[in-house]
Structure 1
Amino acid sequence: MKDVDRIAPPGSEERKLLESIPPERFPKHVAIIMDGNGRWAKKRGLPRVEGHRAGIEAVRSTVEAAARLEIPVLTLYAFSTENWRRPRWEVLTLMALLKEYLNKELHTLVENNIRFRPIGRIHELEPEIQQGLAHAVEATAANTGLFFQIALNYSGRAELTDTVREAVRLAREGKLREDDVDEAWVAAHLATAGTPDPDLLIRTSGEMRISNFLLWQIAYTELVITPVLWPDFRARDLIAAVADYARRERRFGGVPEAEETEET
C-alpha cells in the first residue's frame, strides 16, 4: 500500500493527481538529472555552495517520496566525470556534502528499507568517500524497498567505454566469444546491471539535454523537463512528473497497445 498520506494529504492537488494514476501506470524506474543549484543560489544572492547545500534537502525529500510511492528504482545524477572541470573549491564542496549526506542519512535509508548503490568510476574517488559508500552499500544490502542508485563520477560514455574494455579483456583471456556479445550481454555489464531501464527521466531547471546520462539505458525512456530548480524540487514535483508519464502511450518503436490489431 503506497504511503501517500504523508506526501499528498487528502484533498490536495497532489492527491488528486495520484488518485488519477492507475497502479499499473506507475514507472518502475525513475532517473533524475539534478540541475539548477547554482542558479537557485544566484537568484537569492547567495554563494554557489549554498545552492548545493540546499540541493541535499531535495535529495532527501525525493528519495523519501519515491520510497513512499513504492517506485522500485530511483537513480540520481549527482556528479559527472565532466564535473571535475569545475573550480577546485566547488568540487571539494560537493565531495564534502557527499560525505555529510552519507553520515547523516544512512540511518534514514536503513529505517525506510531503502537499498543503496553508487554507480560510476567509484574507484577514482578519494578513499574516505569510497569507504563511506561501501559502508552504505553493506548496511542497506538486505533492504527490500526502494533501490536508490546515485551516479558519482559517472557518464554514459565512460560507462560504455568501461564495458567495451571489459569485453576486450574477457576476449583476450578466452572467456568471451564474438557471438556472446549482444544487447543482453551489454546490459548485464553496465553499472546499472540488475535494474530495469528507466521508464521516466526527469530533468530539472528547464535545460533540454541529457548531459551524458544513462545513454544506453534511456533509449525508450519518457522525458519530463521541469523548470523547477533542483533545490526547490519536492514530492509534489515528482508526483506531477509521474502523472505526466502515466498519461503517455509508450511505443518502443511500434504502436500503442490500443492500436494493435489481431493477426488474421
Structure 2
Amino acid sequence: MTLNCKGDLVDLTIPKVMGILNLTPDSFYDGGKYKDAKSILNQVELMFKEGASFIDMGAYSSRPGAEHVPEAIEAQRMLPMLELILKHFPKALLSIDTFRSSIAKEAIEAGAAIINDISAGNLDSEMFRTIAKYQVPYIMMHLKGTPQSMQKEAVYNDLIQDLRYYFSEKINEATQLKINDIIIDPGFGFAKTTEQNYSLLNHLDLFQTFRLPLLIGLSRKSMIYKVLNGTSKEALNGSTALHTVALLKGASILRVHDVKEAVECVKLIEELKANSL
C-alpha cells in the first residue's frame, strides 16, 4: 500500500510512525507544552530525527469532555504554526487533525499533506467534497457523537460489526467522490469503554479486509493508564506493549507521542516477521 503525499508515494509495506504535535492548551498528555515557535520547531526536529514519517498537528482538543473551540481560534492556533514548520522543514509531511472543512482547505493550500478527521465527515458535511477537490490522503476515524458527548455514546449492538458497517458506508461515500487515498482509524478511546477498546484491539485484524491502511492511536490513552493504575505520564511502557499488538494485527501507521520508542517497536516487529520461517 502507498499514499500519494504531495506527489511523492509513501510506501506502507513497512509501518510508519506519525508524531503528535498538540497545539492546544488542554490536551490530555502534553497540552500547553508546545506554545511558541522555538519549542514547536525543536519538537518537530526531534520527531523527524527519531524517525517520524509524518507529523500530526492538532489545534482542537478531542479528549473526552474537552471544551468546544471556535473555528477562528483553531485557525489562529494552526495555520501560522503550519507555515512556520514548512518554512524550516519544506519537505515535512504534515497531517492536520481537524473535522472542519474550512480549516482543512486553508491547511492544504498552505502545504499540508494529509487531513485527519476524527468524525469522518459527520461533523462537517463539506469535508468529503473538500478532500475530493484537493486529493490529499484522508484519515477517517470512527466516532459517535462529539468530543463533548462521546463518552455517553459507547453503546453498540455488536462493536466490531457496527464499526465495520460504519467504515463500509464511509468508504463507499468517499470512493464515489473519487477520494483515492483513504486511511481508516478505529478510534480507540472515542465513544468506547476500556473494555470495548481492548475488544477492538483483539479484533483489529478483521479491519484488514478493507485493504486500506490502518492508523492506530493508542499512545498514552486512559485505556492504558487506568488498567495500570497510573497516569498518562506513566504510560509509555504500556503504549509500547499495545503498539506491538497493533503491529502484529496489521497496523500501517502508529500515531504516537513518543516517536523513538514506536520506531524501535516497528523495527523489532519487522525483524520478527523476517525470521518467521
Indicate whether the TM-score tops 0.5.
no
Choose 1 or 2 for highest CA Rg. Answer: 1
Give the structure-1-normalised TM-score: 0.42
